[in-house]
């Protein structure tokens, strides 16, 4: 099948192989706007559908709701994009153990459908080069509760942020770790007010606010850190290119 689409990627240092200087990973450039159900409905209309936009949007939202309800009922659901299967994480001590919210979490396994795999087979990759930016940047975010790096974070639990020159230093009011809610009419920003468990140039451990509402977030770091003893005159803002999700 001929390649018809391209993902543009930047090369960034592989933080998991710190002893190898010439090891990189590909970071997909995600500067495009995140598509939502409203955008999908509009695309269907633009393709010539005779169904009105409002009706389409209602059907799409209903489709999502039915999937959520089915999964919550314990079903595995297969769509044209992915298969969603319920899973419970954490250890269970003893045969009579009960669910413990402090150690066990409800989540989903998501596996690409055949249609999605076939679609990806048509996608090529264009390497844009090594990502610039003075060497400062966020490379990887890990949910320390389950060790996953899929973007899902847990309120009240820690995340491990790995990168380069990310240490929080400087003006205490302006600098810090922030969660920016995507899709809000006005920018909704939540700063981590708990003391950072770890605050190093290459790694930060920060506690996700326990009452962070469900949604899609941008992780933002603002810092005046530099490799010298002199702080930057102006704070530097770094944002993780992958969205973070609270469900």
Contact 166, 238 (CB under 8 A): yes
Report the pLDDT averaged over residues 104-120. 91
Q: Select the more confidently predicted residue: 25 or 83.
A: 83
Q: What is the DSSP letter of 144?
A: T
Q: Work out the percent of the chain whose per-residue pLDDT is above 70.
A: 89
Residue among 52, 73, 207 nearest 143 (CA): 207
CB-neighbour burial class of residue 113 (10 A; exposed 0-12, middle 13-18, buried 19+)? middle
Q: Work out the percent of the chain whose per-residue pLDDT is above 90.
A: 57
The pLDDT score that the predictor gives to residue 136 is 82
The pLDDT score that the predictor gives to residue 65 is 96
Q: Select the more confidently predicted residue: 35 or 177.
A: 177
Report the pLDDT averaged over residues 184-189. 72
Asked whether the predicted pLDDT for residue 159 surpasses 70, the reply is: yes
The pLDDT score that the predictor gives to residue 55 is 97
The pLDDT score that the predictor gives to residue 200 is 95
pTM: 0.57
Region of poorest pLDDT, from 31-40, 89-98, 121-130: 31-40
Asked whether the predicted pLDDT for residue 38 surpasses 90, the reply is: yes
Could you identify the residue written with the tokens 């500067």? 31
Which long-range CB contacts under 8 A does 68-74 form with residues at least 24 apart? Answer: 71/108
Residue among 173, 183, 152 nearest 222 (CA): 173
């Amino acid at each position: 099948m001929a390649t018809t689409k391209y993902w543009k990627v930047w090369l960034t240092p592989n933080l998991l192989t710190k002893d190898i200087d010439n090891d990189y990973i590909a970071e997909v450039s995600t500067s495009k706007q995140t598509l939502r159900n409203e955008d999908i409905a509009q695309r269907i209309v633009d393709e010539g559908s005779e169904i009105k936009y409002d009706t389409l949007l209602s059907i799409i939202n209903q489709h999502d709701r039915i999937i959520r309800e089915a999964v919550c009922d314990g079903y595995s659901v297969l769509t044209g994009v992915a298969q969603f299967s319920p899973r419970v994480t954490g250890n269970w001590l003893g045969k009579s153990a009960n669910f413990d919210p402090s150690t066990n979490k409800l989540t989903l396994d998501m596996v690409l459908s055949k249609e999605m795999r076939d679609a990806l087979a048509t996608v090529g990759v264009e390497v844009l080069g090594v990502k610039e930016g003075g060497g400062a940047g966020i490379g990887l975010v890990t949910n320390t509760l389950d060790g996953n790096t899929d973007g899902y974070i847990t309120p009240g639990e820690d995340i491990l942020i790995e990168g380069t020159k990310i240490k929080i230093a400087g003006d205490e009011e302006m600098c810090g770790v922030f969660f920016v809610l995507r899709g809000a009419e006005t920018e909704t920003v939540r700063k981590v007010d708990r003391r950072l468990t770890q605050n190093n140039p290459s790694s930060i451990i920060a506690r996700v606010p326990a009452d962070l509402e469900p949604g899609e977030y941008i992780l933002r770091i603002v810092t005046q850190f530099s490799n010298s003893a002199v702080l930057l005159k102006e704070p530097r803002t770094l944002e993780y290119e992958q969205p973070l999700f609270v469900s």
